[in-house]
Amino acid sequence: MNRTGRHFLQIPGPSPVPEAVLAATARQVIDHRSPEFGELGTRVLSKIRKIFKTEHDVVIYPASGTGAWEAALSNTLSPGDKIMTYETGHFASLWAKLARKIGLVPVIAGENWRAGVDANAIEAELRKDTQREIKAVCVVHNETSTGSTTVIKEVREAIDAAGHPALLMVDSISGLASADLRMDEWGVDVVVAGSQKGLMLPPGLSFNAVGPKALAASKSSDIRRSYWDWGEMLAMNKTGYFPYTPATNLLFGLDTAIDMLLAEGLENVFARHRRMGEATRRAVQSWGLENLCASPRHFSPVLTTVMMPEGHSADAFRRKVLENFNMSLGSGLSKVADRVFRIGHLGEINELTLVGTLAGCEMGFELAGVPHQKGGVDMAMRYLAETSAA
């Protein structure tokens, strides 16, 4: 079918790519051993630190976020080491699953798919670890499956309160450049991230921001690695180059995306996302539907996960919306499959994009026969008008 108008990609990542970023990625490929590339690499590796709010090195891989998970673990740990996780959703559970596959032993401190990490549970479990067998605490900053954001500062405080030496590793794949993240200030040892969310790039780049404690741990880590090795990457990165072929054109796009984020100002970026999230939640509440995240202090600025009324298929609703309005909404994952849908409000999004998204949802409810109250779009519009800076 020939569809008019733009496709509304309103999943919580990959997010729509700005035209300027697309244009940058469309440049002719250059020699990745040339002086021109060395200048690009040096520039990008320096600027990306500002996005992580760190003075330390950021390693960039041509990979998905899953690769960055493995890189973070394999560079710092040894077979048989224990890591502590807290299951806030699908992606927290996948990180633990990956850890098992490479010979690590996850210890689950708790599970709650309707809130962020309970820092008190982390502290309690660490206090029990008198033999200091737990080598890292691995938590997800923004859980993309549930729409819950963890307060990372509280997790750091919990580790410190327990007097435990474990590394703090944070998956901010969907949080970076959308939700506030302060690597150095909050004492994070490794941040894992990806290109296709708040950085507004196509999929294909992943990141490890590496603090000094994690770098020291990498010297004695005993998990075999080659592709993921920080040492080789950091040695080459000093001159702007990479030990193997990098994703050159994505780095051109990243260069442009960072400039866009810094021009807007990170605090303004975070405020914009919080505002879009609040407008969306007001619409959901007006529809008489429920947000999967039940903890207001953990509401995500990146996405909203909406629970369907009992007996109604979220996937059937999403199909109606796609077929009729050319809009993609996020699906429910694993434990909440077909029970929820996810509205992404991250990256290059503004008021009109969000209102169009919510209108597509409200019309979709009608077509799919989903019980709801009318007026959610009006409620969101009123909030956006009232909070407009103009």
Decide if 48 is inside a domain: yes
- Spatial separation of the C-alpha atoms in residues 345 and 343, rounded to whole Å: 6
- Spatial separation of the C-alpha atoms in residues 180 and 273, rounded to whole Å: 10
Give the pLDDT confidence score for residue 102 in this predicted structure: 97
Backbone dihedral angles phi then psi of residue 178, each to the nearest 5 degrees:
-130, -40
pTM for this predicted structure: 0.97
CATH of the domain at 303: 3.90.1150.10
Decide if 154 is inside a domain: yes
Do 41 and 140 reside in the same domain of the chain? yes
Give the pLDDT confidence score for residue 390 in this predicted structure: 58
Flag residues of the chain having pLDDT under 50: none
- Which position has the token pair 């440049």? 27
Do 138 and 52 reside in the same domain of the chain? yes
Do 108 and 250 reside in the same domain of the chain? yes
Decide if 2 is inside a domain: no
Do 331 and 200 reside in the same domain of the chain? no
Do 278 and 230 reside in the same domain of the chain? no
Do 89 and 153 reside in the same domain of the chain? yes
Residue that is last in its domain, among 238, 262, 286: 262
Decide if 3 is inside a domain: no
Do 232 and 282 reside in the same domain of the chain? no
Residue that is last in its domain, among 262, 283, 299: 262
- Spatial separation of the C-alpha atoms in residues 128 and 48, rounded to whole Å: 38
Decide if 258 is inside a domain: yes
Q: Domain containing 345: what range? A: 8-15+266-386
Do 179 and 59 reside in the same domain of the chain? yes
Number of domains in the chain: 2
Do 232 and 362 reside in the same domain of the chain? no
Do 233 and 299 reside in the same domain of the chain? no
Residue 119 sits at the vertex; the CA angle it makes with 118 and 122, to the nearest 5 degrees, is: 100
Decide if 76 is inside a domain: yes
Strands 190-194 and 205-210: antiparallel
CATH of the domain at 184: 3.40.640.10
pLDDT digit string, tens, across residues 295-317: 999 999 999 999 999 999 999 99
Give the pLDDT confidence score for residue 1 in this predicted structure: 63
Of the candidates 69, 208, 198, 201, which has an alpha carbon nearest to the alpha carbon of residue 140? 69
Do 101 and 133 reside in the same domain of the chain? yes
CB 21 within 8 A of CB 260: yes
241-247 own/partner pairs: CB under 8 Å, 24+ apart: 241/32, 241/33, 241/37, 241/38, 241/41, 242/32, 242/41, 242/60, 245/32, 245/62, 246/32, 246/41, 246/60, 246/62, 247/62, 247/204, 247/205
Residue that is last in its domain, among 262, 289, 304: 262
Decide if 57 is inside a domain: yes
Decide if 31 is inside a domain: yes
Do 110 and 255 reside in the same domain of the chain? yes
Secondary structure element (H or E) that encloses residue 229, with its range: none
